[in-house]
Amino acid sequence: MAFILFCLLAACSPTAVFAQNQHPEIYMIPPLVYVGDRATVVLPLPGFTGDRDVEIIPGELPSVNDIDIHRAVLEHRPSGSRLTIEFSAYTPGILELPPIEIAGEKFGGLTVEISSIFGPGESGAVLSDPAMPLAVSGTSLLVYGSLSAVILLLLLALWVLLWGRGRVKVWLAAWKRERLIAVMGRIEKRLRKDLAKGAARRDILTVLSVEFRSFLACLTGENCRAMTAAELGCLAPLGEIPGMPGGEFLGGFFRRCDGLRFCGREIDNDEALVILGDLRHFLSALTRTDRKKFNQRRETA
C-alpha cells in the first residue's frame, strides 16, 4: 500500500523530468551546427495538451559556460506539442543544455553535438587571411574618370595662366556683347508680335525707347538712359556698320522714335514697323561686325 501511495504522489507532482533517452526523436535545426551558430533543438511532446503556447521570459532563461540560451517555447499544435530551444554554443563536441523548466515541467539531460570549422586532425590549423574586398562595379571607371577630369582642369588652368589669358579675355568680352545683342533681338521680336496683335503703337515705341537706351548703356558703359537724341548722336561708332556710322544712326533713330511718341496724333502701323525694322537691321549689322573683329583678334592673339 505504501508503494502504491508513493507512485501516486510521484505521478501527481507538478514537476517531472524528461531525459533525452526517453525521447529519441529529438532533432536540431539545422542538423549540422558549427561553433557560434544559432540553432534550435526541437523535442516533440505528443502526450502534452494545452490551448496556448508558453514561453520563458528572457530574464529567466538558464545559462551555462559555452552555451547561451536565447529562447525556449512550449508550443501546442493540433499535431502535438513540442518544446523548442534556441541556443548558441561556443565549444565543439557533445554538450548538455541546461535544464529547462517550463509550464510546470522540467526538461533536462538534452545534449547537442557541435561541429568545429576545422576538419579532423586539424586542431592546430589557423584560418587564412581574409580575402581582398571586391570593388563595386564601375568603381574603376569612376576613379580613373575623376582623376582624368582633375588633370584636365589643372592643365586648362595652367594654359589660362601662362598663355591663354588674353584669349580668354577676348572670348568673355565677345560672349557678353553677343548675349546683350541676343536679348535686344528678342525684345524687338516681342514688340513686333505685340504690334501685330493690335497693341497701342505709342506704348510699343515707349518700351522700345527705354529698352534700347538700356541696351546701349550696357554695351558702351555710358549713361545712355538719360541722354537725349542729340547726345546719343555724339556717341563713338559702335562698329564698322555700312550706312550706320555709330552715333549718327542713333541720333536719327531716337529723333524719329521720340517724334512719333510725342506727336499727339495717331501713329501709323507702317511707321512703327519702320522703326522696328531699323532696329533689326542695326542689330544684325552689329553682330556681323563683332564676329569679324573677334575672328581677327583670335588670329592675331
What distance in Å separates the CA atoms of residue 147 and residue 157, rounded to the nearest whole number?
Answer: 15
User: CA nearest 205: which of 282, 279, 272?
Assistant: 272
Residues 171 and 244 grouped into a single domain: yes
Residue 177 located in a structural domain? yes
Residues 98 and 195 grouped into a single domain: no
Which H/E stretch holds residue 172? helix 165-196
Residue 104 located in a structural domain? yes
Residues 36 and 99 grouped into a single domain: yes
Which H/E stretch holds residue 95? strand 93-96
* Residues comprising the chain, all counted: 301
Predicted TM-score (pTM) of the model is 0.46
- Here the cell at position 27 is 532533432
Residues 185 and 247 grouped into a single domain: yes
Which H/E stretch holds residue 83? strand 81-89
- Domain range for 246 is 166-300
Residues 174 and 55 grouped into a single domain: no
Which of 114, 143, 176 terminates a domain? The answer is 114
pLDDT 10s digit of each residue in the chain, 301 long? 433 333 433 343 334 445 445 555 788 999 999 988 999 999 888 777 767 888 888 778 887 888 989 999 988 877 778 889 999 998 898 988 888 888 888 888 888 999 887 766 555 556 566 767 766 667 778 888 899 999 999 988 887 777 666 677 777 888 888 899 999 999 999 999 999 999 999 999 999 999 999 999 888 888 888 888 888 888 776 654 444 456 678 888 999 999 999 988 899 899 999 999 999 999 998 888 878 776 776 666 5
Domain count, the chain: 2
Residue 132 located in a structural domain? no
Which of 92, 114, 136 terminates a domain? The answer is 114
Residue 173 located in a structural domain? yes
What distance in Å separates the CA atoms of residue 281 and residue 258, rounded to the nearest whole number?
Answer: 19
